[in-house]
Structure 1
Amino acid sequence: MPDADRSLRDALQDEEFARAVAQILAEQLRQPAMTARHDAEVVAHYPYPRYSALIRMRQVVSGLALVLMIGAIANTFEPWLRRLPLTGLGFAAAGLTVITGVSLIALLVSEVFRGAGLDVAVTLRRGTVTWEEYRFIPSLNRLTFVLVLLVLGFLTIIFGFASLYTELLRQNPAHFQGLQDGFLAIYFAIVTFSTVGYGDIHPASELARGLALTEIIIAMFFSLIAISAILSWAIADKRQQAEVSLATRIRDRHRQALKRSETPSDTAAPSAHCLGEQAAFDASHAD
């Protein structure tokens, strides 16, 4: 054993041997950094839908709302539904338009608050290291898209009530004071929805007042819900963007640090030489 220790100390005194040991140690220290610099490879991708039925229902109702809204606008200016051989079709279509608009907003708010979308499990690999990351992709991932759907829902409600008022006026002009079909009906529906009430047009019958009151209640209730939904979505979206930005910043700084450590420093060989001497010293005192 003493002979082996003496041989090891003699070998470490050789400058070429010490340089070789230092090079090996430096390569071993750089190997994890070189591996970590490679971009991660996506090995597998597993999506798991959340509330997919709710998403599909919202998509169907959105298309139906657009069609019914266009029909309600046309019926407000021209009584084309009365040309069909069906009694009360105008009232039914206008009522369905209002219900569709209300349903669209309710589905949209439910989709936002329940967190509908995709749960995704991603298996990544970098070198010989494999790990999994879990992400959530919301079905409504753009604020502009959320606002467009909300506007579509509210406009569907407004034009649906405009068509209702027009049908009621065509049935009996005594239901309203100052109301006419076309633009004035839309104007009255917007004023009622906003609860402004200028007084130039007002309902004169119990049925007309009931319809106007229903529109006001819907406007107040769903406006509060829509505002809360937008705020909740915006807060969640900002939080997610902040997390992504933080992860990107840390990753970039980490890569820069790895690039700086790619080239071994001038003191790598002396440090490795010292490590070799320390190892020999420990081995000589092991017994």
Structure 2
Amino acid sequence: MTRGRRFPRHAMRNGAAAFCSVLLYYCVPVGWMFELDAWPGRLLGVCLFLAGVVGLGWLVWRRIESYLRAPNATGAQVDGLLLLVCVVGVVFALFYYRLQQLHPDQFDGLETRTDALYYTLVTLGTVGFGDVHAVGQSARIATMVQIVFDLVVLGTLLTIITTSVTSRVQAATRAAREVSGDAPDTTR
């Protein structure tokens, strides 16, 4: 398989993970009241939610299989990490949204699911525009937990990339020494 054909597969998997995460996020039945006239539209929402769950489940299963086949493959490690970020990002966004529904004094500027997803992504990106921010203690604790998670993920991603680059440079250096006939001096 050529490298040109491999990139789109990674992009498609990561795009599918993002799509299924967003599908799950916007269709999860949160705070529904039982009203008979609202059920036809909600049935579609439940079906889309289930499609998101099944899609994410399948993607997680494929990532686990891929990791077990080649645990040191950099692409698989990065794909797995991006899938984890999608899933955990949806969990944080749902938590923030539900927290604001139950306790409207926890956030300033967070009213909709889009606001909660936006806040989660802005926190993940360490941007912090300030238009949506935590004001209550529960929201601040949840945000701190997300920040710690984000730092661990970013640190892990940097470790994966650094290790990959270092091993490739070392392999290239060894190959260059073998081609030039220079053997490493092991007498020291």
Using structure 2 for the length normalisation, give the TM-score: 0.56
Instruction: Name 1:140's counterpart in structure 2.
Output: 72
Conserved? CA contact 1:193–1:219, under 8 Å:
yes
CA deviations over 1:105-133 (Å, ceiling 9, x no partner)? xxx9xx8xxxx87xxxxxxxxxxxxxxxx
Instruction: Name 1:155's counterpart in structure 2.
Output: 86
Alignment of 1:220-259 (within 5 A): 220-240=151-171, 243=174
Name the stretch that deviates more: 185-194 or 172-181. Answer: 172-181
Q: 2:22 aligns with which of 48, 73, 79?
A: 73
Gaps of 5+ in 2: 1-16, 35-59, 181-188
**Secondary structure of 1:140 counterpart:** coil
Instruction: Name 1:167's counterpart in structure 2.
Output: 98
Amino acid in the other structure paired with 2:91:
G
Q: CA 1:165/1:198 → structure 2, altered by over 3 Å: closer, same or farther?
A: same
Q: Which has the higher helix share?
A: 2
**Secondary structure of 2:112 counterpart:** coil
Give, in whole Å, the separation in 2 of the partners of 1:201 and 1:185: 9
Conserved? CA contact 2:89–2:121, under 8 Å:
yes
**Secondary structure of 2:105 counterpart:** helix
Amino acid in the other structure paired with 2:128:
G
**Secondary structure of 2:100 counterpart:** helix
Instruction: Name 1:127's counterpart in structure 2.
Output: none
Instruction: Name 1:185's counterpart in structure 2.
Output: 116
Alignment of 1:33-52 (within 5 A): none
Give, in whole Å, the separation in 2 of the partners of 1:73 and 1:168: 19
Give, in whole Å, the separation in 1 of the partners of 2:169 and 2:110: 46
CA deviations over 1:86-118 (Å, ceiling 9, x no partner)? xxxxxxxxxxxxxxxxxx9xxx9xx8xxxx87x
CA RMSD across the alignment: 3.7
Task: Tell me: higher relative CO, structure 1 or 2? Use CA pairs within 8 A at least 6 residues apart.
Answer: 1
Deviation of the 1:242 alpha carbon: 5.2
Q: CA 1:193/1:219 → structure 2, altered by over 3 Å: closer, same or farther?
A: same
CA deviations over 1:29-49 (Å, ceiling 9, x no partner)? xxxxxxxxxxxxxxxxxxxxx
Conserved? CA contact 1:169–1:176, under 8 Å:
yes
Q: Which has the higher strand share?
A: 1
Q: CA 1:75/1:207 → structure 2, altered by over 3 Å: closer, same or farther?
A: farther
CA deviations over 1:212-264 (Å, ceiling 9, x no partner)? 111112212331232123201221244345546766x58xxxxxxxxxxxxxx
Q: CA 1:148/1:189 → structure 2, altered by over 3 Å: closer, same or farther?
A: same
Matched, 1:201 2:132: yes
Q: 1:210 aligns with which of 141, 144, 163?
A: 141
Structure index of larger Rg: 1
- Report the identity percentage: 18
CA deviations over 1:57-99 (Å, ceiling 9, x no partner)? xxxxxxxxx59x93x53454344255699xxxxxxxxxxxxxx
